[in-house]
Structure 1
């Protein structure tokens, strides 16, 4: 389980990457959202479900451009207040996000009967003011490695898209 940040409406307990689709009714009397199945194996997710999935996930891949070539880096991140926050050290990933601030972050996971994938495209910027750094330090974003990571990069989304994909019979998990 993850530590919860009390001021964020987007934090809830989770198991990283393993989520179930929402089965709530958006309006009284309305049917639940559709789930992927054999007749409709790929469903586009709305922004709310995309954010719910990102909030319940900590591992993603950051896509940047290095010398006009795409590069992917595994990162742990925090989805908070409709933004993404990454904690990193000096290096190629940070330099690339600084030189070309257009980035993408992709995260995915699975439930018992489906896979999901969410891609956030946005603008990266390094947090610099004391207030921004203090707010970031108060959040539950900690490095997974023993290296010192003192730089916070915020991704402000310009777009978010997601899909839920039904698993074929032999790939489904049993409870």
Structure 2
């Protein structure tokens, strides 16, 4: 008997729905002309990813309108199944007062200590995802 997983390619709506079920992902950006990856907590707002930052390279990427990538997943190593969603798009600093008021407060509370009073939007220009279903038993 062999066990095979079924790999499902996900559409944009399915990907965005899965992103709403987790709070942490990985932001991929350029720092000093090299790729950098950092875990970030995030939320979806109006179909776009939003993170809070204090400054540094993430803020720099946002103020340059840089292209960034973001990945979040939920995997079960024992069952060998799960999903992964990747978002690629431009990062920009949110400056509109009305939107900042809407985003402030407890809507997106950073996990790490320290002041993080800037909000960065990642325009979801390319959204891709895959889901690996639990193994199907078949006879050889």
TM-score class, shorter-chain normalisation, is: 0.7 to 0.9
Q: TM-score, normalised by structure 2?
A: 0.84
Residues 1:115 and 1:130: Cα distance change in structure 2 (over 3 Å): same
| Local SS of the residue matching 1:146 | coil
Map of 2:46 onto structure 1? 81
- 1:142, CA displacement in angstroms? 0.6
Aligned length in residues? 132
Find 1:135's aligned residue among 97, 102, 112: 102
| Local SS of the residue matching 1:118 | strand
- 1:118, CA displacement in angstroms? 0.1
Map of 1:108 onto structure 2? 73
Distance (Å, rounded) in 1 between the aligned partners of 2:28 and 2:125: 15
Pick the structure with more strand per residue.
Answer: 2
- 1:130, CA displacement in angstroms? 1.2
Q: TM-score, normalised by structure 1?
A: 0.68
- 1:95-174 maps to which residues of 2 (within 5 A)? 95-99=60-64, 101-110=66-75, 114-137=81-104, 140-166=107-133
**Structure 1 runs not aligned, ≥5 long:** 1-36, 170-175
- Between 1:130-139 and 1:141-150, the stretch displaced more is 130-139
Distance (Å, rounded) in 1 between the aligned partners of 2:135 and 2:36: 31
Distance (Å, rounded) in 2 between the aligned partners of 1:141 and 1:89: 14
| Local SS of the residue matching 1:157 | coil
Distance (Å, rounded) in 1 between the aligned partners of 2:37 and 2:134: 26
Map of 1:59 onto structure 2? 24
Q: Please list the CA deviations of residues 98-134 of structure 1 after superposition, one character each: whole Å capped at 9, or x if unmatched.
A: 3352111100003666210000011111011211211
Root-mean-square deviation (Å): 2.1
CA contact (8 A) 1:73 1:93 kept: no
**Structure 2 runs not aligned, ≥5 long:** none
